[in-house]
Chains A and B, each alone.
Chain A
Amino acid sequence: MNSAPRQLNLDQWDARYEQLRRDGLREPAYGGPLRRLMVREKDFRLQQLRFDNSPAALRLWNFLLTENQRLHQARAGGHKIVGTMKDLGTVPVMAYALPGLRAFYPDGAWWTPCLMECSDRLLQKAERMGLDASFCPVRAMLPALVDGGHFPRPDLLICSSGAVCDDFSAIAQRLEHLGHAILWWEIPRRRRPASGETACALPGLLAAPKIQVDCVRTELQRVGQALGKLAGKTLDDDCLAAGIRAANQVRRRLDSLRRAVYSAPAAPLPALEMLVAEMLAIHFCSDREETIAVLDDLLAEVQSRARRSQFVIGAEAARIFWVNPVADLRAMNLLEELGGRLCGSDFMFSHALDLIPEDLPPLEALARSALADPMVGPTGDRAARIVRECQAGRAEAVAVSRIPGASHCAREGEIIREIVRREIGIPAIEIEIPPVCDAMLPSLASGLRALVETARSRRTR
């Protein structure tokens, strides 16, 4: 089944799939050729993407793109569905610690217009509900939840509020006005402890005053009670501690994968697959055990390629650190087509990649993890981590991708770029990527090409 690593388009994957089948490929129940997803789910964007050619990548894509089906099956099997919004990585750890609960992020609907190339008209429907193009594409979540045509309507909706994006908060509030009750919990804007205050260490080399950790712990306790009520079982410390250990299994694998890929002399796995793999951390794509298996496969593939010195993107590619997820997956391919490769990433949920402390009372540990969210703290803290990871990954440039209409993007790019330039003196660019970026490709390409060329030209100095 081994063949030299490369990226394939959907047509090429048809042939590759047949060959793998002939060679005895064994797949999980959700497996199959990628093309069927394009046909059945109307995921037309797949025709424009280039995918890694490994069976491990095939499993990753099949796992990702069958999530709605999995949620419907879970509902049919008697599971309760929890829609958890905005916190990206905290509440699902609690939900999956309880039997009979499946948690997912309706926020993930922001990729639906991209995948379906807007054929589902979710963005237009959102506009009719009062949320026009000046809002982040996550507004697709609103009609997706109201219509119920994509994922099942959750039995419980939970949303973090406080230090969160305005557009997301406004969209969720609109959802509640339309009759979908939401359990709001407070995540205060993280600040550094003042002198004389008791400080708590957070994952990601951060710290927060104890009073903030206490507040978040109290709020998560309230969330835990609601989840326990839904599950019909109390979310006690033992239960939550087991959930944290399981979440950390996912995080450890992702850490190994990121280290193996980002520190390699050339890229053993493409940027797009890395983005998708990292996304698994936030809610395990609705199946925590399967997430572990998917990541094990990917890691084994990467390690095997590294041993054989076989790479998808060559060593001459400019090493780019990428900030923020892209509304159009095509952009990750574009980076590589133009001579770049990922050597690090901050897709807005670095706190979901860090291990949750296992030596603390579990709710306290989770509160600290939630407060380490890069989006709830000062932009300077986020930039400091980016700088550290740029240094670790020997980044030659930074690309900050703007999400159209996202309130955090109005300011953060300017601050991150200034700190990156000041601290490590590498070039940084900010580019806006809409859900379907075809019309913007020339300008996106020229921006990325300039970044890659600038990064390369600095090698000779």
Chain B
Amino acid sequence: MDVFLASPWIPAEWVRAHGLQPRGLWSVENFQCGPWPLSAGVCAFAEAAVRFARERSDSAVIFSTACDQMRRGFDAASLRGQSRLFLFNLPATWQTAAAGQIFRSELERLGQFLLALGGRAPSPELLRREMLLSGATRKRLLDSAAASSPRWFAEAVARFHWDGAFSPPPPAAPATQVPLALLGGPFLAPHWKWLDELEAAGGRVTLNATEMGERSLSPAFDFAAGASHPFDALVRGYCDNIIDVFQRPNTRLYSWLKPRLASRQARGIVLWHFTGCDLWRAEAGTLRETFGLPVLLLEAGAEPGAAPRQLNRLQAFVETLR
């Protein structure tokens, strides 16, 4: 059975070790973010997740509490008693033992849910093998990130979140475009065309820090760090490496960004967000103040690529940075 994960911080290895197939929800080919008539303030990504969950009665969907929109989206999706839905409580704090305990207990609870779906209890060996495999693939993807074509890299990460496979992204041709960082929430397949449009406008994403970009590859497992059981290493490998805007405080995001913005020579930040995403939009000022870089807020639309108005803004942004 397919188990769709709505956040990269829900361990796919845990699902796979239960004999079920984890799928990144954002990697679904026909995952549609509108256009729908939405109530004011509803995030199109969350709405798409709700609709997807309601329609896919043959699969399970794991929501997360990373944001209010998805948390309440779960409430909406499960309103009519859908039993194949699960809400994973991701702690917002990270500096205390309590946060780690929440993550651990949620993982155990998810395990019970997966067993109820027909999964098998994972052996430590199997879990360890899955973690080694995914860890190696993440590392290969991260190693290739700086030198890859932005479009191909986005596709390669999506492929990893879809079936765990590594498809080597081809190296990028030497470029003279303005290097930019792309930061923000879900960046879906229909949006990839936007990367081509950016290149045509004279810019280039040298750091993809969206929810489906390099940040999503940050979990790493250290079996030598005293974890006697791979489950402990799994908990630590995720808990210690979540890099996201919802964490409180979200200083880990800024610590993660700082060296990467420098090494990729980013001259500006495109802040990618869905309508109604308060968590990302509120960071624009802090990003400007912290890194001294210009920030362009770009809203995800329903159409593939950028809408004409968005494209104009993007072109103007790149032009000012030349």
Contacts and interface: CB of A to CB of B under 8 A. Distances in A.
Contacts of B65: 162-163, 188-189
B133 interface: no
A225 to B, nearest CB: 12
Nearest to B104: A211
Which among A184, A186, A410 has the highest number of chain B CB atoms within 10 Å? A410
B42 A410 contact: yes
A161 B93 contact: yes
A129 B285 contact: yes
Interface string A157-194: 00101111111011111101100001011101101001
A320 B120 CA distance: 52
B79 interface: yes
A405 B97 CA distance: 34
A354 to B, nearest CB: 22
Contact of B72 (A131, A170, A408, A418): A408
A134 B112 CA distance: 40
A164 B247 CA distance: 12
B102 A186 contact: yes
B40 to A, nearest CB: 7
Nearest to A414: B39
A411 B72 contact: yes
B93 A184 contact: yes
B32 interface: no
A408 B42 CA distance: 9
B101 A170 contact: no
Nearest to B280: A170
Which among A161, A402, A406 has the highest number of chain B CB atoms within 10 Å? A161
Contacts of A259: none
Contacts of B279: 166, 169-170
Contacts of B105: 211
Given A186-B93, A188-B89, A170 B282 contact: yes
Given A191-B89, A222-B96, A165 B68 contact: yes
Contacts, number: 146
B40 A410 contact: yes
A173 B101 CA distance: 23
Which among A135, A163, A167, A173 has the highest number of chain B CB atoms within 10 Å? A173
Nearest to A377: B75
B26 to A, nearest CB: 19
A169 B248 contact: yes
Interface string B96-119: 111101100100010010000000
A134 B278 CA distance: 8
A186 B91 contact: yes
Contacts of A303: none
A211 B107 CA distance: 13
Contact of B282 (A130, A215, A219, A406): A130
A407 interface: yes
A173 B87 CA distance: 24
A232 interface: no
B282 A131 contact: yes
B92 A378 contact: no
A20 to B, nearest CB: 45
A432 B40 contact: yes
A311 B41 CA distance: 40
B72 A215 contact: no
A129 B109 CA distance: 41
A184 B91 contact: no
B92 A162 contact: yes
A99 interface: no
B76 to A, nearest CB: 6
A162 B93 contact: yes
A159 B249 CA distance: 11
A411 B76 contact: yes
A173 B282 contact: yes
A173 B282 CA distance: 9
Contacts of B75: 378-380, 411-412, 415
Interface string B57-85: 00000000101110111011001000000
Interface in B258-297: 276-279, 281-286, 289-290
Contacts of A414: 39, 76
B282 A415 contact: no
B223 interface: no
Contacts of B42: 410-411
B250 interface: yes
A407 B72 CA distance: 9
B246 interface: yes
A166 B285 CA distance: 17
B6 to A, nearest CB: 14
A211 B39 CA distance: 35
A380 B81 CA distance: 11
Contacts of A184: 92-93, 248-249
Interface string A111-148: 00000000000000000011100110000000000000
B43 interface: yes
Which among A134, A164, A166, A215 has the highest number of chain B CB atoms within 10 Å? A166
Contacts of A189: 65, 71, 87, 89
A177 B41 contact: no
Interface in A349-392: 378-380
A130 B250 CA distance: 17
Contacts of B72: 379, 407-408, 410-412, 415
A162 B69 contact: no
A447 B98 CA distance: 46
B286 A130 contact: yes
Interface in B33-61: 39-43
Contacts of A234: none
B82 to A, nearest CB: 13
Which among A170, A174, A185, A418 has the highest number of chain B CB atoms within 10 Å? A170
A41 B286 CA distance: 32
B83 to A, nearest CB: 13
Nearest to B101: A215
Contacts of A177: 285-286, 289-290
A89 B109 CA distance: 30
A218 interface: yes
A166 B278 contact: yes
B249 A173 contact: yes
A162 B96 CA distance: 13
15 contacts: A130-B284, A162-B93, A164-B68, A166-B278, A177-B285, A186-B93, A191-B89, A215-B102, A219-B96, A406-B41, A409-B41, A410-B276, A411-B42, A412-B75, A419-B79
CB-based closest 9 A-B pairs: A130-B285, A170-B282, A410-B41, A411-B72, A407-B68, A161-B248, A161-B92, A166-B68, A166-B278
